[in-house]
Structure 1
Amino acid sequence: MSRKQYSLRRTYIGRLPQGADLLEGITKICKEENIKIGKITAIGAVKKAVISFYDQIEKKYHNIELNQEMEIVSCIGNISLLNGQPFVHCHIVLADNQGRCFGGHLMLGTEVFACELIIEEFEGEPIERVYDEASGLNLWHPALILME
């Protein structure tokens, strides 16, 4: 087994405009800059959000709509390739006005109030997502499994 190593190539630091869709905005930047492998972190607030939970038995996502103002406590993700195109995979934790947290897979429909974003692009061989029969997900290529 050989483990792949990557180094930092470029870092993008900025914010998304109010009203933007969080996932769509991040994806647009990655496609415009042709980022094939990287890391995403973001903080801020949203006007409303759509997150999802992956049901491991049914092998499908179930969306949860949060129609309220919330703080982005944490948003972290990665960038790889799916069908040759940059693909953004992010998880997000959001807090309501009582400090209760909700988390899951970031989905389209999450409207930005304010968002400070860092995208780190890595130097190295792009990672392609492939369908994994056992999980029902498009995961990083099996060659990237770190241990046997």
Structure 2
Amino acid sequence: MIKPYAKRLLEGDDLRLSLLEFIQLNNIRAGSLLTGVGCLSHAKIRLANEKNVLDIEGPLEIITLCGTLTAKHVHIHISVSDRKGQVYGGHLMPGCIVSYTAELCMIAYNNLNFERQYDLNTGFDELVVLKVSN
């Protein structure tokens, strides 16, 4: 069974931390962030090489926002554009601060449990999908 959720964040909220707090308050054990729109005054985005983090001053428009949600971790990708239309993207990090508002739409999978476990092949904590009996 799938359960939809929506959340509006306000100016000054940290996008990643607010999302994780929402997941934990609603006891979402497996979910997807389907979409997110809004504006940021500041963004921190980790690039694919796992070492470099872009630190970007706004105003920024959220172009895409999606990912997987577990009870203890959110794996979210974001792309934002600046006032000239230049686009930046990567992993959502703490420090992405909402300006004005951000709107998030999510779903939870009640028949699944998402966890993260270290994978020797990739060297990262990877998604593990477990079925939950109802």
TM-score by length of 2: 0.89
The 1-side partners of 2:129 and 2:7 are apart by 33
The 1-side partners of 2:22 and 2:129 are apart by 27
- Whichever of the two has the greater Rg, that structure is 1
Partner residue, 2:82: 96
Which has more strand, going by share of residues? 2
Change over 3 Å in CA distance of 1:13–1:141 after alignment to 2 = closer
The 1-side partners of 2:18 and 2:112 are apart by 24
Q: Is 2:98 the counterpart of 1:73? A: no
Describe the SS at the equivalent of 1:127.
Answer: strand
Report Cα offsets for 1:109-140 as digits up to 9, x if no partner. 00001101112111213022110122221001
8 Å contact from structure 2 (residues 113, 129) kept in 1: no
Partner residue, 1:146: none
Partner residue, 2:6: 13
Change over 3 Å in CA distance of 1:36–1:13 after alignment to 2 = same
TM-score by length of 1: 0.81
Give the letter for the 1:30 counterpart: I
Task: Give the superposition deviation at 1:142.
Answer: 8.2
Q: How many residues align?
A: 129
Give unpaired runs (5+ residues) of structure 2: none
Runs of 4+ in 1 over 4 A off after TM superposition: none
- For residue 132 of structure 1, the aligned residue among 116, 119, 133 is 119
Describe the SS at the equivalent of 1:112.
Answer: strand
